[in-house]
Amino acid sequence: MENQNDITEFYKKKNLDIPVYLQWGTAHFDVMKIDTLKKRNEAISLLSFTRKGLYKIKLVKGNCKCHYADRTIEIEKYALVFINPMIPFLLEETEEPIKEYFCIFNDEFFSNFGNIRDYPVFQNHRDNVYSLSDDEYQKFEVLLDNMKEELSSDYEYRFDAIRNLVYELIHKAIKMNGVQPKVTKRNGADSRITLLFEELLALQFPLHSTSDYVKLRKPKDFAEQLSVSINHLNKAVKHIRNRTTSEIITDRILQEAKILLKITDWSVSEIGYSLGYETPSRFIYTFRKNMGVSPLIYRNENT
């Protein structure tokens, strides 16, 4: 279940008004337009979902590049992009700021209404970016307009109507035989892969409750999400950071462990399980090995 902050922080980051009619922490859906984007870090905008559980279907107008771990997709003029929150990417504005028209939703919105995550557009980044013609762009824009209209209506079954519109959009994209985006080799592949790995690691934190837990714990978990081989990931990270992938993962998990020991009353066992350790003893051993003291002693000395 989504924590309220996971959704509200998205709106704050985009400088958007937070909807008052939606029920936070359960099913969530919204449609919005953004005509200008503030550039950061020399024109690179981090437009992937960095909040857990939020999917996005985005209609893009403008020239930009979509960078994944193992390739770059060039978007020329119009594109439809499907974003899975567990597959991070970078979107680089190459000229003027792009315009985007998109909907966001979580798994709960489609509960008992099909398996939205099983569609290929959300499975990997080989099937989730579609170049569009002027006519195709307008057709998808109409679908998003219809979603926005339904969302603001008082129709009793409007959310079912919206779900049907989302599926209609997905099926149109899958069946579309338009020109596919141009795929190019990236420069600085090691740097890009390392950055995306670190983003994917970071978006798992912070943990909000004992029912929240770290899902990606091992290098192979990250390699699968980034669609690269584990050897490729390990070599890239080692080359850029001069540290192993496992060392970086362990450091970040132990950093979270120290925070939880300081500010929560969770038991050592609860913290260990939330951080992905199979047993409390394994968590205690790893913590003591890296920090020089046991979790309990660390808590007593820092609270």
pLDDT in tens, 159-186: 999 999 999 999 999 888 544 555 555 4
Model confidence pLDDT, tens digit, residues 244-265: 999 999 999 999 999 999 889 9
Same domain, residue pair 82 and 201: no
Q: Are both 159 and 224 inside the same structural domain?
A: no
pLDDT value of residue 149:
96
Domain boundary among 160, 184, 208: 184
- Domain tally, the chain: 2
Confidence of residue 273 (pLDDT cuts 50, 70, 90): very high
Closest to 144 measured CA to CA, from 120, 165, 172, 127 = 165
What rounded mean pLDDT belongs to the chain? 82
CATH classification at residue 217: 1.10.10.60
Same domain, yes or no: 56 and 163: yes
CA–CA separation, 113 vs 109, rounded Å? 8
Cα(212)–Cα(261) distance, rounded to whole angstroms? Answer: 15
**Do 178 and 196 belong together in one domain?**
no
Q: Which residue's entry shows tokens 């390699």?
A: 223
- Confidence class for position 40, pLDDT limits 50, 70, 90: very low
pLDDT tens readout for residues 192-208: 888 889 888 988 888 88
The model's confidence at residue 50, banded by pLDDT at 50, 70 and 90, is very low
CA distance 131 to 300: 57
* Res 39 pLDDT > 50: no
Taking the C-alpha atoms of residue 225 and residue 34, their distance in angstroms, rounded to an integer, is 28
Question: Which alpha helices (H) appear in the chain, and where do they start and end?
Answer: 4-13, 134-151, 158-175, 189-202, 219-226, 230-241, 245-263, 268-274, 280-291, 295-302
Answer with the one of 159, 184, 209 that is the final residue of a domain. Answer: 184
User: Could you tell me the pLDDT band of residue 242, with boundaries at 50, 70 and 90?
Assistant: very high
Range of the domain at 145: 4-184
CATH number of the CATH domain containing 164: 2.60.120.770
